[in-house]
Structure formats: C-alpha cells, structure tokens
Structure 1
Amino acid sequence: MNKIKQLQEIINSSNNIVFFGGAGVSTESGIPDFRSESGIFKSLEKYGDTPERLVSHSYYLEHTEEFFKYYKDCLIFPDAKPNPAHYALARLEKESKLKAIITQNIDGLHQKAGSKHVLELHGSVYRNYCEICKKYYDLNSVLESNSIPHCSCGGIIKPAVVLYEESLDMNILNKSIEYIQKADTLIIGGTSLVVYPAAGLINYFNGKNLVLINKSKTDYDQLATLVINEAIGETLDKIKF
C-alpha cells in the first residue's frame, strides 16, 4: 500500500493523536538545525566551539556576552513562517483528532500556525525573564539589546529556553507523558530520536499506531507501524482533512 494512503487511513481511524516533533519540522521554514553538520561547522568557524557547548548553562554563566551573540545569530528567526507541517497539524487539532503537539523546537511556529495545545519541552525564544526580579520580557527586548540584555532592576534577561546541562520543566514533561500514554496514535516527525530525555518519551506509548516521519532512519524504525523517510511538511501536506 502507498505510504501516504496508509498514513491517511491511520489518521482517519484515530481519535486521539499526539504529535512529537523535532528540528526537522522547522527546517522547511528556513530554520537550520544547529546540530547539523553545517551548524557545527558554523559554530566552530565563527565562535570556536560546538553548538552544544555554546548553548550550555556553564557557557552562559562563563561567557555571557558570547552566548548572546551566538544565541541571537543562530537560534532566533523572528521572520520564519509556518510551513505545511505546522498548518496540517493545526487543522488536525481543529478536527479534534490531534490532542497535543509536543515539540523540541523553541521557535513558536506551531502557535503561529494556529495550534493551541503545544507543549514546548525546550522552552521558547518568545519568553524571557529577569533572573533577579522575574519580570517578563518579549523577544524584542533581547533582539534590540546591544550585548547582554538587562532588566530595569539590573538583572540579566535570560531566555526561557532549556540549555544543555539544565533540566526540562517537569510539569511539561509529565503532561507530555500523560498525553502520549492516552494516545491511540503517536506521530513522530523531524527528529532522529537521539536527544534525551525527550527521545525517551516514545517508550511511554502503548497505543495502536506509531508513525515515524523523518528523512533519515532512526533506532526505533523497527517498532513503528509506518515509517516514511521524507520531509515532514511535504508528507503532511498530502493528507486530506
């Protein structure tokens, strides 16, 4: 059977779908995967270190000015627009079939496409807080700063994104687990499932259909009901609702 037709039938027969997405969901919107080969090359050539080191908690503390240079240059894309994957998932939510989107991305594109039930495992560039007084700041407060963004109280404005060496928000993680445990279909797209603890979420799924949509193979392909090695946006754009 044609894989798109098979995916269509799985979606048609499902009533409790959860989508779990990674960087590949946003690459079709022009946002590069900073852990890709080109992303690593850029970070090494321009900043002298690996992406994982540059967005680590220790680097943020020890080299705050350099952290913000890299962060603003490589992780913020305010002009990026949702692609067909984001819009397809938003439509699926409106049909009441999709119950939640769990994302590793920090770009807010699911919300821009109209999705309401989005669990952001790694936070969002659109939320920023003073480390001292906890005052909220929007993205422009960070983008418009010349160097390190500071609050009116003098504290550093820190993005509400989960850096390497930092723990995930347990409330969001537990909600994600709860949604996955209740799902009859789990669609995983745009992720190679190698970044933990997020990748471990697949182990909580006990439903009927596990669908993996990713350009490259994953270590979980043998467990899936359906594997599609294509771009997530191109794939979901072919599904009719």
Structure 2
Amino acid sequence: MVFEISDSLTEALRSAGSLGVVTGAGISAASGIPTYRGQGGIYDDPEEGDRTVEALSAPTLRDDPDRTWRAIKDLALAARSATPNAGHHALVALEQRFDRFVLLTQNVDGLHEAAGSQNVIDIHGNLRRTTCQACAAIGAEPDWDGIDGAPRCSCGGLLRPDVVLFEEMLPPDKVARLYAELVGAPPEVVIAVGTTAMFPYICEPVHAARLAGGTTVEINPEQTPLSDVVSYRLAGAADAILPALVDALWT
C-alpha cells in the first residue's frame, strides 16, 4: 500500500511541542496479535465473535469465572509470544522528541510498555496485571501455562485480569486522565493509529484537537469514522508508516 508523508505534515510535527497518539489493535497486527474488527478480525465470524464477547463479559466473570479466564488465556498467550514491532518502537522515539506526549491505547497486550513508552493510558487495562476481587491487591502477570480456570489470590479471593470486560465501565481514573491530557488540553498534533474508532472516547481526542486548530492524522489501511475529518490520512500499516514519520522528522 503506497503512502506519502507530505512536507506540510512533517512541518506540522516539527513545529509542534505536544503530540497525542491513540492506538488500536492495528498497531499490534505486525506483532502477530489478531485485530478484533476489520479485515481478518476476531469478530469477522459472527458466531465466534458472539462466543468471545460472551466469555469476556462481566456477567460471565461473575457466573462462570473459569470460562472467562480460559478465554483470557488465549489472548494472553498470543500477547506473551509477541514482541513490539517497528510501529511501537517509532512511538518511543516520538515520545522522546516532544515536550509533552501522551499515548492512549485500547490494547491490553502491554506491547507499548514493553517497547519503552512511558506516558501510556491503557484505557482497557493490561493482560500483564491481575487484581483480586476480594482485597483489591494488584498482582503481576499470572503463570498462563498453569491456568485452567480462575486463579486465587493469597488472601483466598478470586483474581481477575486487569482488563475492562464487556458490560463493564471504564476505570474512572483513566477516563479522567484521558479528558485532562487529550481533550481538555488537546496536544497540537493527534495521531490515530490502527483503531476502528468505534467508541466516542477514542474519537474525542481527534475532534478536540481539530476544534482547537491542531493537526490530526489517521494511520489505517481501512476507512473509519475519522477518515473524513482528519487533516491527513495515511493508508497503510502502522509498522511501515510510523517509522517513516520518524525518519521524516529526523531528516
């Protein structure tokens, strides 16, 4: 897929002091983690998608936690075997360049942190953490190989993966950070990468930057609700385009 990084986009990035980035499953596709929606996504098969959604829901965690943990294990094993790709590493380089940088991710794979990104809002949580439903203790990533059901905390309470399940609210502290850092005070440039932009809170940083007169960019091989509103649209894979953006800034 051919893309072109224009001189005007490069100049907008060079002159900006702040950058916000919103990432979805597309940025991790090159690491071997399947996307959820879009071509080749987990939800492309309606029956399989429905089963996955049901297993990864709050009611199932309550009524049949073993089923939820088995479904989570499949995702976690894929994430564990994955390593950050060139797109993740490019975002680390961009964070080091800007005075203010914030990264909002929908992904729960932990690859941004593994690559070295620092100011990350993992709005949907992180598979590499657990929380106890009894004592609220935060724990490290469990031994996925040994899991065949819901594990327990040392206090005896059931553990849950530190991720937002279907039919659950987003964590209030992370929502507050999102609105404080990306909507209330929009960065001068906001880039949406590999997200289908299906949720309002994912689109809001782009709209806020646009209303404030900032530069907005979409990196995605497919059309999304953001495609017609951004300043620049780069059609292609994140692991190719983000490194090219970094190269353009440094040359």
Q: Under a length normalisation based on structure 2, what TM-score does the superposition of the two structures give?
A: 0.86
Q: Secondary structure, in 3 states, of the residue corresponding to 1:99? A: strand
Instruction: Give the C-alpha shift of residue 4 in structure 1.
Output: 1.5
Aligned CA-pair RMSD = 2.2
Q: 1:178 to 1:149 in 2, by over 3 A?
A: same
- Residue aligning to 1:198: 202
1:84-103 alignment, distance < 5 Å = 84-97=86-99, 99-103=101-105
Q: 1:69 to 1:44 in 2, by over 3 A?
A: farther
Instruction: Give the C-alpha shift of residue 192 in structure 1.
Output: 1.5
Instruction: Give the C-alpha shift of residue 49 in structure 1.
Output: 3.8
Are 1:188 and 2:189 matched, yes or no?
no
1:104 to 103, 106, 116: 106
- Residue aligning to 2:74: 73
Instruction: Give the C-alpha shift of residue 100 in structure 1.
Output: 0.8
Rounded Cα–Cα distance in structure 2 between residues aligned with 1:192 and 1:41: 13
Q: Secondary structure, in 3 states, of the residue corresponding to 1:18? A: strand
- Residue aligning to 1:40: 43
Rounded Cα–Cα distance in structure 1 between residues aligned with 2:58 and 2:203: 21
Instruction: Give the C-alpha shift of residue 23 in structure 1.
Output: 0.7
- Residue aligning to 1:136: 138
Amino acid at match of 1:186: V
Instruction: Give the C-alpha shift of residue 66 in structure 1.
Output: 1.3
Rounded Cα–Cα distance in structure 1 between residues aligned with 2:101 and 2:216: 15
Are 1:215 and 2:230 matched, yes or no?
no
Q: 1:127 to 1:212 in 2, by over 3 A?
A: same
Indicate the percent of aligned positions where both proteins have the same amino acid: 28
Instruction: Give the C-alpha shift of residue 188 in structure 1.
Output: 0.5
Q: Unaligned 5+ residue runs, structure 2? A: none
CA contact (8 A) 2:25 2:35 kept: yes
Amino acid at match of 1:81: T
Rounded Cα–Cα distance in structure 1 between residues aligned with 2:236 and 2:60: 35
Q: Unaligned 5+ residue runs, structure 1? A: none
CA contact (8 A) 2:20 2:190 kept: yes
- Residue aligning to 2:60: 59
How big is each residue's C-alpha offset from its partner over 1:32-86, in whole Å with a ceiling of 9 and x where there is no partner? 11345552367945xx943322211112112211111111013441121111111
Rounded Cα–Cα distance in structure 2 between residues aligned with 1:50 and 1:199: 27
Q: 1:222 to 1:131 in 2, by over 3 A?
A: same
77-86 vs 137-146, which deviates more?
137-146
Are 1:4 and 2:8 matched, yes or no?
no
Q: 1:197 to 1:62 in 2, by over 3 A?
A: farther
124-133 vs 137-146, which deviates more?
137-146
Q: Secondary structure, in 3 states, of the residue corresponding to 1:125? A: strand
CA contact (8 A) 2:132 2:153 kept: yes
Q: 1:31 to 1:69 in 2, by over 3 A?
A: same
Rounded Cα–Cα distance in structure 1 between residues aligned with 2:144 and 2:75: 14
Count how many residue pairs are aligned between Structure 1 and Structure 2. 238
How big is each residue's C-alpha offset from its partner over 1:141-193, in whole Å with a ceiling of 9 and x where there is no partner? 45533321111222111111111111111221121222223311000010110
- Residue aligning to 1:161: 163
49-58 vs 66-75, which deviates more?
49-58
Instruction: Give the C-alpha shift of residue 30 in structure 1.
Output: 0.6
Rounded Cα–Cα distance in structure 2 between residues aligned with 1:212 and 1:153: 46
Amino acid at match of 1:40: Y
How big is each residue's C-alpha offset from its partner over 1:72-112, in whole Å with a ceiling of 9 and x where there is no partner? 01344112111111111101111225511110001111111
Q: 1:49 to 1:220 in 2, by over 3 A?
A: closer
Q: Secondary structure, in 3 states, of the residue corresponding to 2:156? A: coil
CA contact (8 A) 2:20 2:189 kept: yes
Rounded Cα–Cα distance in structure 2 between residues aligned with 1:34 and 1:75: 14
CA contact (8 A) 1:18 1:101 kept: yes
